[in-house]
Amino acid sequence: MSWRTVVITTRAKLELRLSYLVVRGEKETKIHLSEISTLIIESTSVSLTVSLLSELMKKKIKVIFCDEKRNPISELIPYYGSHDTSAKVRHQIKWTKSIKGYVWTEIVREKITKQADLLRYLKRSEAKLLETYLKNIEYNDKTNREGHAAKVYFNALFGINFTRTKTDFINAALDYGYAILLSAVNREIVSNGYITQIGIFHDNMFNQFNLGSDLMEPFRPIIDACVYYMNPTKFELEERMMLVNLLNKEIEIDGRKQYLSNAIKIYCKSIFDALNENDVAKIRFYKDEL
């Protein structure tokens, strides 16, 4: 099972050699592809061979590219994530509005639950208001309890003057963490044979990752908690690596301890089972010891 997240931060040449990723920089490093789940290329001074990129896609290894400011800007995903992709996509197109609405309701309920859990752990009184929102969630969250909860939650976590539109180190860290999380979810969507563009709630014609944007929601508080404790006064390599390493955080799902990256795999598969079998009881959410 792949578990490593490899981050390339300096000038280097990456190539394929006998099923190994070979990193040629100041020194040469070799990592077997079977160990890698995600490759993050932070430096714009990195060159890669096409043979390596082709093999990374065959192995379903997520590749994330960053811009000159080291912010994730794009990712590489294979056309064919599963041997029966065409059948899976046909199923995806036929998911009914009804089951999509029920699944989205459960996703929103779980996201707000995790937000309330974090605020309660931090002894924030606003946790009680989020608990009230939980009781008032309607089908498909038609009263937008998610949006109301988000405003209360972020102000309780980062201060009354905090907004997600502000340019600061907290938002830089949140954006970076969410991008890593979205990429991990997209990897599982493609690996299961589905396409990321067709979501269950998100439906933006300019968003290539509507389904990933849906499925990642319950995991966002893991990023939020990390950024809260980080309390960044800068956002550089150390802070980025703290967020990348969250993929190796241990959480519980389906009665077992799993790394976050594997928990995302189990969760995404359960969402697809729920959608295909019209049964939200199939969904498996994680438990996190704060």
First to last CA, the chain: 26
The fold of 85-287 is Four Helix Bundle (Hemerythrin (Met), subunit A) (1.20.120)
**pLDDT, position 57:** 93
Phi/psi at 52 (5° precision): -65, -45
What six digits make up the tokens of 56?
Answer: 């990374």
CB 265 within 8 A of CB 188: yes
Enumerate residues 6+ apart whose C-beta is below 8 A from 18. none
215 SS3 class: helix
- Weakly modelled stretches of the chain, pLDDT under 70: 1
**pLDDT, position 1:** 59
Q: How many CA atoms lie within 13 A of 31 on its CB side?
A: 20
Enumerate residues 6+ apart whose C-beta is below 8 A from 166. none
Dihedral angle over CA of 73, 13, 5, 62, nearest 10: 50
User: Any idea where the domains of the chain sit in the sequence?
Assistant: 4-76, 85-287
Distance between CA atoms of 290 and 275, rounded to whole angstroms? 30
Residue range 48-88, pLDDT digits in tens: 999 999 999 999 898 999 999 888 999 988 877 788 999 99
CB atoms within 10 A of CB 186: 24
Residue range 103-143, pLDDT digits in tens: 999 999 999 999 999 999 999 999 999 999 999 999 999 99
Whether 4-76 shares its CATH topology with 85-287 is answered: no
> Edge-to-edge strand order for the sheet containing 46-48?
28-32, 20-24, 12-17, 46-48
CB 81 within 8 A of CB 192: yes
Residue 202 CB burial class (10 angstroms; 0-12, 13-18, ≥19): middle
229 SS3 class: helix
CATH 3.100.10.20, applies to 4-76 = yes
**pLDDT, position 93:** 96
At 98, which amino acid appears?
S
192 SS3 class: coil
62 SS3 class: strand
